[in-house]
Amino acid sequence: AGPLGGGESGHCHPAVRGQRRAGTPDKGGAGEIPAHFRGRGDDQLRQHGHYYERNTESEPELSQAEKQKQSIQEVRRSLPIFPYREDLLAAIRDHQILVIEGETGSGKTTQIPQYLLEDVRTSMLSYFPQVGYSIRFEDCTSERTILKYMTDGMLLREFLTEPDLASYSVIIIDEAHERTLHTDILFGLIKDIARFRPDLKVLVASATLDTERFSCFFDDAPVFRIPGRRFPVDIYYTKAPEADYLEACVVSVLQIHVTQPTGDVLVFLTGQEEIEACCELLQERCRRLGSKISELIVLPIYANLPSDMQAKIFNPTPPGARKVVVATNIAETSLTIDGIIYVIDPGFCKQKSYNARTGMESLIVTPCSRASANQRAGRAGRVAAGKCFRLYTAWAFKHEMEETSIPEIQRTNLGNVVLLLKSLGINDLIHFDFMDPPPHETLVLALEQLYALGALNHLGELTKLGRRMAELPVDPMLSKMILASEHYKCSEEILTIAAMLSVNNSIFYRPKDKVVHADNARMNFVVPGGDHMVLLNVYTQSGYSTQWCFENFIQFRSMKRARDVRDQLEGLMDRIEVELSSCSGDSMPIRKAVTAGYFYHTARLSKGGYKTVKHQQTVFVHPNSSLFEEQPRWMIYHELVFTTKEFMRQVWSRPSLSFLV
């Protein structure tokens, strides 16, 4: 009998999302605990793996490929999931829907797809390539693909061409506890098709403590539990709340470096600004201490960091040194860094929030959930016994933190999802089977916006334009802009702008020690009209030169991504029969196409800033905008964000409101 019981879940799709690395066990040691902590061992974090030894004395010498294969097999056997392989496969055969609860490091993400492939007939495994992946704007699969990894958004779009997902026999939704917008929609759709497709197997995998909810949602599906962390992690809390958690992080790192045994450190912070400030403080204090301490290698990791600098976190730590990685919550589950023994957790994260009344998205620093805190602690127990230093009190953990994060569906714009559901023939959105229904106001706003864009008629039905918009995997306003470019004969330029907008926030790189140089380089791309023309200018000049990107503080990786996105959009335009044309340097058609998609986002100059036409919200031009020092009477913006105040990003000046008519 397998370990079947009641509840929890994860985030993989007909393919699987995410990969884990298997570490090598090491021995941790005891040491003096930093002064502002009191010890609290957490027995729930203690779990050991299974290791197998082999006598190799009399075996013939193996080739390099055979050694590598043997090494991989040994790692697979060492994972906590391995002893449960047969029980798991039996449970999958016996149940149509199975919820799999597996702690971080158990091997569920990497091993379950392999177990399923190994369980099918050998003849199937003779086809190559067997494994492919599909992400937005990129599809690396063929008719021979039998294991397909894809994002939740791409699986959602598969329903457009195959509403019953007849091509798939097993769907794995991994990291379900993350509760992304698309995953929550998938839950409802997959639950529905499973009722009339008894041959379909659905596996919902998670690493947290919310499996009962998934079990209940999927009609009391059984839960299969797999033990996870292979090494114990001791948890330490502060005696009192920290007034400055950034300073507390710096002090904690240095105390660990001076008093604790060998092992690297992982620090969680909320974003680029905090990470750079922390790294700067650590480096400055290490310089002051000089030869009094051993070498401390300080490495940041955040989304906008160039890929070559991101890769440094995976380099082995030199003998006698200690590595400290300062990261956003991307390191909770998406990254596994070998050698991490100590984790410092201030207990905060940045979370996207959406105000339906103002149409504004905000990134708010907020306390993380208890589930996230436990994921962070687990990073310390991957390769050896570890320690997690929480910069908050035990009382705050129990009483001030939510059990799990608020699902994204309850704090985001639903325009794209509503358009997709409408295109699938789901018109009664109020009674759709959501695990957690979105706010009524957010649904109404999405419907209102789609009607204004011409995607829905007065009965709430999809129009011909709406069906074409649904074919494009972008925001409804962006898809309307792209389709309008056909009428204004500027589709070549608009496709470029759309591709650049899709990677916009990571185009320009602004290193802290070269801010003036980076800003001057950026000003060289400024042309009349606004930020959209700046993006078009960057793309046109860039070519494929890494040296050019380096000299102009442009991220080459982002430019490559923009080119890939543009190529995919061009292919989609061909599919929906939109003829490509160019306006040959005339900016007026481009302005009209942008306005056709973003007229909803109009703001008028007023005392102390701008006011949005739709909601009369006071907003400001973002400091990074090419129009920051200008004050045109009318503005059209790509998005509203709240950081220190309400900013318009990617703005375009309008000579008058009559232009919109």
User: Where does residue 66 rank: exposed (0-12), middle (13-18), buried (19+ CB within 10 A)?
Assistant: exposed
Between residues 657 and 361, the one the model is more confident about: 361
pLDDT digits (tens, 9 = 90+) for 540-582: 988 778 888 888 998 888 898 899 899 989 988 988 888 899 9
In this structure, of 70-74, 259-263, 314-318, the range with the lowest mean pLDDT score is 70-74
pLDDT at 575: 86
pLDDT attached to residue 49:
33
Average pLDDT of the residues in 219-241: 88
Please report which confidence band the pLDDT of residue 659 belongs to, taking 50, 70 and 90 as the band edges.
Answer: low
pLDDT (0 to 100) of residue 209:
63
The answer on pLDDT for 152 being more than 70 is: yes
pLDDT band per the 50, 70, 90 thresholds, residue 334: low
Structure tokens at 325: 């990685």
Is-contact 408 375, C-beta < 8 A? no
SS3 of the chain: helix, strand, coil, percent, to 5: 40, 20, 40
Percentage of the chain lying above the pLDDT 70 cut: 86
Average pLDDT over residues 388-413: 92
Q: What is the pLDDT of residue 136?
A: 80
Structure tokens belonging to residue 428: 């009664």
Lowest mean pLDDT among 60-69, 161-170, 351-360: 60-69
Model confidence at 375: pLDDT above 90: no
Q: In whole angstroms, give the CA distance from residue 509 to residue 52.
A: 47
Which residues make Cβ contacts (< 8 Å) with residue 287, sequence separation at least 6? none
457 vs 451: CA distance, rounded Å: 6
Between 407 and 308, residue with greater pLDDT: 407
Question: Which residues are registered as beta bridge partners of 651?
Answer: 637
Quick: pLDDT tens for 606-633: 988 899 988 888 999 998 888 888 888 8
**At 655, is the pLDDT very low, low, confident or very high (cuts 50, 70, 90)?**
low
> H helices within 260-369, ranges in order?
272-289, 307-310, 330-333
Instruction: Grade residue 77 by pLDDT with cuts at 50, 70 and 90.
Output: confident
- Residue-wise DSSP of 433-493: --SSPPPHHHHHHHHHHHHHHTSB-TTS-B-HHHHHHHTSSS-HHHHHHHHHHHHTT-HHH
Residue 35 pLDDT: 45
Return the higher-pLDDT residue of 33 and 211: 211
d(CA 461, CA 207): 40
> Which strands sit side by side in the sheet containing 170-173, from one edge to the other?
4-5, 223-226, 97-102, 201-206, 170-173
pLDDT score recorded for residue 18 = 34
Q: What is the mean pLDDT of residues 298-307?
A: 86
pLDDT at 349: 92
pLDDT computed for residue 145 by the predictor:
86
331 — pLDDT class (breaks 50, 70, 90): confident
User: Would you say residue 102 has pLDDT above 90?
Assistant: no
pLDDT at residue 356 is higher than 90: no
- In this prediction, residues 468-473 reach a mean pLDDT of 90
Integer Cα distance of 482 and 133 in angstroms: 26
Amino acid at 599: F
Distance CA 152, CA 173 (A): 8
Average pLDDT, the chain: 83
User: Is residue 124's pLDDT more than 50?
Assistant: no
The set of residues, in sequence order, having a beta carbon less than 8 Å from that of 170 and lying 6+ positions away, is 14, 92, 116, 200, 201, 202, 203
Confidence of residue 597 (pLDDT cuts 50, 70, 90): very high
Whether the pLDDT of residue 324 is over 90: the answer is yes
pLDDT for residue 340 is more than 80: yes
- Which range among 102-106, 293-297, 414-418, 459-463 shows the weakest confidence by mean pLDDT? 102-106
Please determine, for residue 166, whether its predicted confidence score (pLDDT) is greater than 90: yes
Confidence at residue 215, expressed as pLDDT on a 0 to 100 scale: 93
Coil, strand, or helix at residue 44? helix
Neighbours of 650 (CB within 10 A): 25
Residue 234: pLDDT band with limits 50, 70, 90: very high
**Band of the pLDDT at 120, cuts 50, 70, 90?**
low
pLDDT recorded at residue 230: 66
Torsion, Cα of 381, 387, 390, 395 (10° steps): 90
Q: How far apart are CA 578 and CA 620, in angstroms?
A: 36
Q: Which of 13-22, 53-62, 275-284, 434-443 has the lowest mean pLDDT?
A: 13-22
The pLDDT of residue 32: 44
Residue 51 has pLDDT above 50, yes or no: no
Name the token pair of 346: 């201030």
State yes or no: pLDDT of 322 exceeds 50: yes
Average pLDDT rounded to a whole number, residues 413-423:
90
pTM of the model: 0.76
> What does the pLDDT average to over 7-11?
37
Phi, psi of 547 (to 5 degrees): -65, -40
Task: State residue 427's pLDDT score.
Answer: 86
What pLDDT is attached to residue 658? 55
Q: Which of 294-303, 338-347, 349-358 has the lowest mean pLDDT?
A: 349-358
